[in-house]
């Protein structure tokens, strides 16, 4: 009996620890600016309005600040969902390695207060001239 309870307990906690969900995010790229550094590398900064949706039923809107140095994209975002809870996240992508990147949830308020989640994403669609970027991913 103890063995059965142990197996069930391990199975339950394993499932809970791997409760994955999916995300979809769209960005409106604005205020694009660039300079060339002393080493000749192009540096770009921009802001972006963010609209996000996840498979848990949350829809969020927010603002992001981004920089690109060489081929490295770094983005920090603050968004608010339908319940008024704020979520803070960062995105990272080495653009020389393709459309895959990592989005990290860094906490927030309400349901996001102690959230520390990692999402592997792929850029589904991007057109910098139109100011549009769309990504999707899976999170743990």
Reduce the secondary structure of the chain to three states and give it as a string: CHHHHHHHHHHHHHHHHCCCEEEEEEEEEEEEEEEECCCCCEEEEEEEEEEEEECCCCEEEEEEEEEEECCEEEEEEEEEECCCCEEEEEEEEEHHHCCEEEEEEEEECHHHCCCCEEEEEEEEEEECCCCEEEEEEEEC
pLDDT digits 0-9 by tens, 106-131: 999 999 999 999 999 999 999 988 99
Percent of residues, the chain, with pLDDT higher than 70: 86
Angle CA 106–123–74, to nearest 5? 45
Q: Can you give the pTM of this predicted structure?
A: 0.81
Q: Which whole number is the average pLDDT over 49-65?
A: 97
Q: Which whole number is the average pLDDT over 25-38?
A: 94
pLDDT at residue 52 above 50?
A: yes
Q: Which domains, and CATH codes, for the chain?
A: 20-139 (2.40.160.20)
Is the Cβ–Cβ distance between 77 and 91 less than 8 Å? yes
């Amino acid at each position: 009996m103890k063995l059965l309870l142990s197996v069930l307990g391990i199975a339950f906690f394993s499932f809970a620890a791997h409760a994955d969900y999916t995300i979809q995010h769209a960005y409106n790229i604005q205020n694009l600016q660039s300079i060339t550094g002393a080493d000749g590398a192009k540096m770009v900064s921009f802001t972006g309005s963010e609209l996000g949706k996840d498979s848990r039923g949350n829809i969020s809107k927010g603002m992001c600040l981004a920089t690109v140095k060489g081929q490295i994209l770094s983005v920090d975002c603050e968004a608010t969902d339908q319940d008024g809870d704020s979520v803070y996240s960062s995105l990272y992508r080495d653009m020389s390695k393709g459309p895959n990147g990592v989005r990290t949830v860094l906490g927030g308020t309400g349901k996001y207060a102690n959230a520390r989640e990692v999402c592997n994403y792929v850029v589904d669609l991007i057109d910098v001239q139109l100011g549009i970027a769309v990504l999707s991913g899976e999170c743990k």
